[in-house]
Amino acid sequence: MAGMRVPRIVASVALVVALGPCSFAQKNDRPRLSATDTSYLSCRVWTGHNWTVPTPISARTPLVESPKGFRAYAEVKVAVQKDGSCENATTLYVASGVGQAFTIVYPKAPSASNGNGIRLIGWSPSGEKLLAEVNLWTYDSDTEYAHFPVIYDASKDATEEIPDVDQAVSRHFGADCLFELAVTGWKADDQILIKVSKSPEDGLYEVRSCVQGPQTFAFSLRNYTLQAYPLQPPPKD
């Protein structure tokens, strides 16, 4: 397995589940759990009238290839427990080229969160770094989805979770602000683009509306800071 730095995401997710997080979207009338989408794969889904019978399921992302020949895909497997609950396991695979064996570079076990999924976004301009968005949630809970970037660096054969994005957004809008985070792409090899949107509300929580509409930021992987994107001109005197 490739080297992997896993900084604080497991501890922080556990804390947010207990206390009520800033970046977890609240439940709404249209559950995202899906029988096909690797971001929200579930052993049971909402039909519009009821939940389906729990069934083991797996799904793969499309293969993404780097300009330098690296190839990657991810797979999510959902197991059904004896009590009918779901447990997800997400795995990211990378190969150095066509005909080369795929190896595991990033696993996310259900011990971190019994719901997890992944979306591959693409390779960086240099072709050496792969960006993905990983989601965590807890089945049968009022708290829902945490979204954070994961980056595989082929030059180091190492994978890193980036929870600092969530913390940077909280610093920007305020610690008591609810929002939903989405990773959208690369700006440069040392910057990624994220979209911050208003968190869906369901009436169970009093939410201070701090994000009126979707906003895009560039996040620096060097110093973990946010910058409006496109760059906003300074205010006139």
Phi, psi of 138, deg, nearest 5: -115, 120
| Residue 67, SS3 per DSSP | coil
Give the sheet arrangement for strand 129-137, strand by strand: 3-5, 158-161, 146-153, 129-137, 115-123
Output the CA torsion sign for 60, 92, 41, 89.
positive
Strand-strand pairing, 71-80 and 86-95:
antiparallel
pLDDT at 110: 87
Separation of alpha carbons 114 and 85, rounded Å:
9
Q: What is the pTM of this model?
A: 0.82
Where b means 16+ CB within 10 Å and e means fewer, 128-137 reads: bbbbbbbbbb
161 within 8 A of 7, measured Cβ to Cβ: yes
Q: Is 160 helix (H, G, I), strand (E, B) or coil?
A: strand
Among residues 219, 161, 217, 168, the alpha carbon closest in space to that of 190 is found at 219
**What is the CB-side half-sphere exposure of residue 37 using CA atoms within 13 A?**
12
Q: How far is CA 10 from CA 73, 76, 220, in A?
A: 23, 19, 22
- The dihedral built from the CA positions of residue 180, 183, 184 and 189, taken in this order, carries a sign that is positive
Q: What is the pLDDT of residue 2?
A: 58
Cβ within 8 Å of residue 111, ≥6 positions away:
none
Q: What is the pLDDT along the chain (237 residues), one digit of tens a residue?
A: 555 544 433 333 332 333 233 333 334 444 689 999 999 999 999 888 898 999 999 999 999 999 999 999 999 999 999 999 999 999 999 999 999 999 999 999 987 678 999 999 999 999 999 999 999 998 877 666 889 999 999 999 999 999 889 889 888 888 777 888 999 999 999 999 999 988 765 444 555 667 778 899 999 999 999 999 986 555 565
